[in-house]
């Protein structure tokens, strides 16, 4: 009798960049669960996302394809087309029960990222802001096997983003409202979508033990806006200092706000606290699998969809660019039965490699033509492999860009392609035909492509990919997709 295929758990720590994750792990006693788990994982320390924002990055994770291949990006459909094979469908065909539990509302039916899952729950826009409201597990935005309309949001959703400019007001409302609740039922203020753990628990209870499961989770603690922890006893002045600074990415992009070094330092410290909070949540999800008797035979993947910038090269938060702080992400993989484990792997890898790795470990049949590879196959050790990433401009229709002032639209609503090979990073803007070349190891000067055929070929390939990305004119997304983009702060 053949052994049951392993369970699969993929947890995305939204917005967590690689260097901050590693630094947080080294902070004494701040991430006890992940520090205890670290010896049991394979740590891919040179991992990169495919895009600096949620939709195209998650689509790459689920398909093993780059954004210009799967089409879920701003120059394409703004959703993952239903005919593109994805992990949920392929594992379902192999007999897996599948559940998606995401704090991020992009992993929802309008964007095609829950297609193929048996059960899916996703966070709504207000859960980022109003953290004194607890949504029971399995309610509101729930999608079961493709049925049911989206929850209709109130009309004032578009105006709540002004609170990103006045975080003291947002934080103050949340703290005051939480203090009105009984001590035993006060949300933390940091955790977003706290229903996720109980949803995973109830879902696992309903799946027969003999059936393998694919569980996907997205955690949003490291995503702006950053709120204070209500359990901390703070005086008025301490709270006043803790809620300084704005958090609105759009104003920074338009040039209406330039964060001071003090504001950037504060935002980064709040961001680090969000990363700390992820530790307990990952631990709770793993314990659900332990309590269900599934953990020993589980393939566990812990990663991120993109990084987060705090003033590096003038960038704030994420999107729009292909800087390393936005592209380098953590990637841990724990194989079933802990073998092999405690390994640091230094080969450059990509988010597109997760789907092929899952297929290889589970034995499920994956679709042909994936750009990713299995990270435990012979190809993974190749030092000459090319890794790509793409930024795809502003998240809205052309007709809604008129409000961007002083020509800012022209400078940010553009595509960027990053190509990594060996020690080189080639960055091109296909619309302007510009190119920069850097030695990522810092050991050599960037060569002149005109005098170096190898580097010239990399530039040519990056430009080709960029032209493919922008080949089709921007298509109009559905009204529902456009409103969800707006409600999540992508103007």
Could you read off the pLDDT of 271-283 as tens digits, one per residue? 999 999 999 999 9
Domains of the chain from N-terminus onward? 7-377 (3.40.720.10)
What is the overall mean pLDDT for the chain?
Answer: 83
Q: Read off the pLDDT of residues 59-68 as tens digits, 9 standing for 90 and up.
A: 999 999 999 9
Q: What is the mean pLDDT of residues 40-61?
A: 96
More confident residue, 413 or 61: 61
More confident residue, 88 or 382: 88
**Dist. CA 318–CA 243, nearest whole Å:** 21
**Dist. CA 204–CA 200, nearest whole Å:** 6
Phi, psi (deg, nearest 5) at residue 331: -150, 110
**Dist. CA 463–CA 436, nearest whole Å:** 12
**Dist. CA 409–CA 413, nearest whole Å:** 5
Contact 326, 313 (CB under 8 A): no
| pLDDT value of position 114 | 95
More confident residue, 466 or 175: 466
Please name the residue that has the structure tokens 């961007």: 404
| Strand pairing category for 343-345 and 42-44 | parallel
| pLDDT value of position 152 | 36
pLDDT exceeds 50 at position 401:
no
Q: Is 331 helix (H, G, I), strand (E, B) or coil?
A: strand
Out of 99-103, 249-253, 375-379, least confident range: 249-253
**86: which DSSP letter?**
-
Phi, psi (deg, nearest 5) at residue 328: -80, 125
| pLDDT value of position 184 | 55
| pLDDT value of position 240 | 72
Please name the residue that has the structure tokens 């010896």: 39
**Dist. CA 465–CA 388, nearest whole Å:** 9
Contact 248, 160 (CB under 8 A): no
Phi, psi (deg, nearest 5) at residue 449: -55, -30
Tokens of 373: 């590879």
pLDDT exceeds 60 at position 478:
no
pLDDT exceeds 90 at position 103:
yes
Tokens of 36: 């205890």
| pLDDT value of position 395 | 62
| pLDDT value of position 389 | 97
Closest CA to 72 of 442, 412, 481: 481
Q: Read off the pLDDT of residues 181-236 as tens digits, 9 standing for 90 and up.
A: 666 555 666 788 889 999 999 999 999 999 999 999 999 999 988 877 665 556 67
Phi, psi (deg, nearest 5) at residue 275: -65, -40
**Dist. CA 139–CA 196, nearest whole Å:** 11
Contact 114, 132 (CB under 8 A): no
Does the model's pTM come out above 0.75? yes
| Strand pairing category for 415-421 and 424-429 | antiparallel
Q: How far is CA 188 from CA 13, 227, 236, 303, in A?
A: 18, 10, 19, 24
Q: What is the mean pLDDT of residues 78-86?
A: 93
Contact 437, 459 (CB under 8 A): yes
pLDDT exceeds 60 at position 410:
no
Out of 48-52, 353-357, 442-446, least confident range: 442-446
Closest CA to 109 of 70, 144, 74: 144
| pLDDT value of position 272 | 94
Across the strands, what pairs with 332? 43, 302
| pLDDT value of position 107 | 94
Contact 214, 98 (CB under 8 A): yes
**Dist. CA 298–CA 214, nearest whole Å:** 10
Q: Is 316 helix (H, G, I), strand (E, B) or coil?
A: strand
| pLDDT value of position 446 | 63
**Dist. CA 394–CA 321, nearest whole Å:** 11
Q: Read off the pLDDT of residues 295-335 as tens digits, 9 standing for 90 and up.
A: 999 999 999 999 999 999 888 899 889 999 999 999 999 99
| Angle formed at CA 257 by CA 313 and CA 172, multiple of 5 degrees | 115
Half-sphere exposure of 405 (CA within 13 A, CB side): 8
Phi, psi (deg, nearest 5) at residue 227: -110, 160
Closest CA to 91 of 81, 80, 100: 100
Concatenate the DSSP letters of all residues of 119-164 into one string: EEEE--GGGGT-TT--PPTT-SSEEETTBSPPPPPPGGGGGGGGGG
Tokens of 482: 């456009």
| pLDDT value of position 147 | 38
Q: Is 180 helix (H, G, I), strand (E, B) or coil?
A: coil
Contact 388, 419 (CB under 8 A): yes
Q: What is the mean pLDDT of residues 154-182?
A: 67
């Amino acid at each position: 009798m053949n052994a049951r295929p392993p369970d699969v758990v993929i947890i995305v720590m939204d917005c967590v960049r690689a260097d901050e994750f590693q630094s947080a792990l080294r902070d004494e006693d701040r991430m006890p669960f992940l520090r205890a788990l670290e010896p049991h994982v394979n740590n891919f320390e040179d991992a990169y996302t495919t895009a600096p924002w949620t939709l195209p990055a998650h689509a790459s994770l689920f398909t093993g394809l780059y954004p210009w291949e799967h089409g879920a990006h701003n120059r394409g459909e703004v959703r993952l087309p239903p005919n593109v094979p994805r992990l949920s469908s392929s594992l379902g065909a192999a007999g897996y029960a599948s559940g998606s539990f995401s704090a991020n509302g992009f992993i929802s039916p309008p964007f095609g990222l829950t297609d193929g899952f048996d059960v899916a729950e996703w966070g709504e826009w207000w859960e980022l802001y109003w953290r004194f409201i607890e949504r029971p597990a399995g309610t509101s935005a729930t999608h079961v096997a493709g049925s049911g309309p989206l929850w209709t949001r109130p009309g004032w959703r578009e105006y709540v983003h002004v609170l990103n400019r006045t975080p003291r007001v947002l934080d103050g409302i949340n703290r005051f409202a939480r203090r009105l609740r009984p001590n035993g039922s006060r949300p933390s203020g940091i955790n977003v979508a706290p229903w996720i753990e109980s949803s995973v628990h109830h879902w696992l209870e309903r799946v027969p033990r003999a059936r393998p499961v694919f569980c996907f989770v997205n955690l949003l603690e490291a995503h702006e806006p950053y709120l204070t922890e209500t359990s901390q006893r703070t005086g008025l002045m301490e709270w006043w200092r803790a809620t300084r600074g704005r958090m609105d990415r759009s104003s920074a992009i338009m040039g209406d706000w330039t964060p001071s070094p003090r504001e950037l330092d504060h935002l980064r410290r709040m961001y680090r606290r969000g990363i700390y909070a992820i530790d307990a949540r990952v631990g709770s999800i793993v314990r659900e699998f332990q309590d269900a008797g599934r953990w020993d035979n589980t393939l566990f993947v812990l990663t991120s969809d993109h990084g987060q910038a705090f003033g590096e090269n003038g960038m704030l938060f994420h999107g729009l660019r292909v800087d390393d702080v936005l592209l380098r992400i953590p990637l841990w993989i724990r194989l079933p039965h802990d073998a092999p484990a405690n390994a640091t792997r230094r080969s450059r890898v990509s988010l597109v490699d997760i789907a092929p790795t899952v297929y290889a470990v589970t034995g499920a049949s994956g679709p042909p033509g994936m750009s990713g590879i299995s990270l435990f196959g012979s190809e993974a050790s190749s030092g000459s492999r090319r890794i790509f990433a793409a930024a795809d401009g502003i998240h809205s229709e052309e007709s809604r860009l008129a409000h961007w002032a002083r020509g800012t639209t022209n400078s940010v609503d553009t595509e960027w392609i990053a190509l990594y090979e060996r020690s080189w990073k080639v960055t091109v803007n296909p619309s302007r035909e510009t190119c920069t070349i850097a030695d990522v190891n810092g050991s050599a000067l960037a060569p002149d492509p005109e005098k170096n055929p190898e580097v010239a070929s990399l530039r040519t390939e990056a430009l080709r990919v960029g032209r493919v990305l922008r080949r089709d004119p921007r298509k109009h997304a559905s009204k529902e997709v456009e409103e969800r983009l707006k409600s999540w702060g992508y103007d």
